[in-house]
Copies of this chain bind each other. A is one copy, B any other.
Amino acid sequence: MDQPAYPASRDLAFNLTGGPAGATPATLAALGRPVLHHLDPAFGALYQRTAELLQQAFGTRESPVILPGEAVVGLEAAAASLIGPEDIVLNLVSGLYGRGYGAWAGRYAREVIEIEVPYDSAVSASAVADVMRVRPDITVVSVVHCETPTGTVNDLDAISAVAAEHDALLIVDAVSSFGGIRCDFTTWQAGLVVTAPQKCLGGTPGLSLLHVSEAAWARMEANPAAPRGSALSILDWRDAHLADRPFPFTPPVTDIYGLHSCLEQYLSEGAEAVLRRHQAAARAARAGAEALGLTLWARDPLVRSDTVTAVRMPDEIDEQDVRALARADSGVMLSGGQGDLARIVLQIGHMGTGAFPLGAVIAVTALGRALRSLGARADIGAAVEAAVSALDA
């Protein structure tokens, strides 16, 4: 054939990545609304309504913060705002994002203690409890709920209880979990949770969505080094959703349109239905990948994420080649290994608009075709059968 079915010049057909994971047509249509001035009353009303919808989605008593900047901005801002030179941070590391958070924590903390586990596993609550017993001076616990590159989850329900018991402030990266995996910020007594629209909510990258507890606000206000008058300031945006409060600077108007739209869709579908949709898609992806002949990266079923599945490539097969072929021949975009996992592990995303019944069928077909092109074996038929059976399980 002269050229692949999907050359780079042609948009992909299926975004089955670890995010940005695509948006519905309704969300895309919302992005085209004329760009209002941020002080226009119509924008003010929309912004306020969006904050209310987000609070509904969060299920919290506190108003959330919509911080301009992709999720990493919210994560960095959380460290800068909440961690001070008196703090001893326990940072849990079960993947690259956890490792990265340690660096941010280290900029501001007196000391950072880490529990690191192999990246195909999770940090256990008992390990956390052990460390906290030994080091009762720990003031902050930071943890990534779902590690996208490896598709693993830490058990926040258990870990949060340990942190709460020791009165440590809990900082959670729920960027690729919220909306796809049950998150109960209130029961967790989480101090600060960061999530984002472009994963399970089907929005655009460009915003950090923050839950901040009353205790965390108090701490932030008491922290003289917490950013103010800065892109990293959470405090600046605390009251932005209140009528007649000026924005600290121009918010990304278009991203707010998108967030408003995808929150409406999320709430209309219903949090429980959205979770079930992610669970079904995840079951299908895992079953399909295994039946295809691949090994799931995380061996323990309990640590596998419902939003993204990491799979190990057969020996001699470079995941970059697999993904390039899946994109070129089948129009399917997958995510790739990062860090040590580059060339070894790839991810099938099933989050947000990527979490739909036939997603796994599409993914395993694209993967299977690519593997075969590279000379590897792949039982596509069995994979699809397994995916389909898992859907109805």
Contacts and interface: CB of A to CB of B under 8 A. Distances in A.
Contacts of A34: 11, 15, 22-23, 25, 28
Interface in A63-77: 68-73, 76-77
Interface in A1-56: 1-3, 5, 8-15, 17, 19-26, 28-42, 44-45
A252 interface: yes
Nearest to A16: B37
Interface size class of A (residues with CB under 8 A): 35 or more
A12 B40 contact: yes
Nearest to A104: B229
Nearest to A248: B72
Contacts of A76: 230-231
Interface stretch (A114-122, A306-314, A323-331): A323-331
A152 interface: no
Contact of A5 (B15, B73, B258, B356): B356
A151 interface: no
A223 interface: no
Interface string A94-121: 0000001001100000000000000000
A39 B336 contact: yes
A277 interface: yes
Nearest to A204: B254
Contacts of A305: none
Given A20-B35, A20-B37, A45 B250 contact: no
Contacts of A255: 206, 252, 254-255
A54 to B, nearest CB: 18
A15 B37 contact: yes
B25 A33 contact: yes
Contacts of A252: 70, 204-206, 252, 255
Q: Which of A10, A45, A384 has the most CB of B within 10 A?
A: A384
Contacts of A44: 8
A333 interface: yes
A149 interface: no
Interface string A258-287: 100000000000000100110000000000
Q: Which of A1, A44, A69 has the most CB of B within 10 A?
A: A69
Contacts of A45: 8-9
B73 A37 contact: no
B356 A13 contact: yes
A13 B231 contact: no
B251 A205 contact: yes
Interface stretch (A163-171, A181-189, A360-368): A360-368
Contacts of A32: 25, 28-29, 31-32
A200 interface: no
Contact of A31 (B31, B327, B361): B31
Q: Which of A5, A37, A69, A327 has the most CB of B within 10 A?
A: A37
Contact of A25 (B2, B11, B327): B11
Q: Considering the complex of A and B, which 3 residue pairs feature the smallest CB-CB distances, nearest first?
A: A381-B381, A206-B252, A8-B41
28 contacts: A1-B276, A8-B44, A10-B42, A12-B37, A13-B358, A15-B37, A19-B250, A21-B35, A22-B34, A23-B34, A25-B28, A31-B31, A32-B32, A39-B336, A68-B70, A69-B73, A71-B249, A72-B250, A204-B254, A205-B251, A206-B252, A206-B253, A230-B232, A252-B252, A254-B258, A365-B388, A368-B388, A369-B392
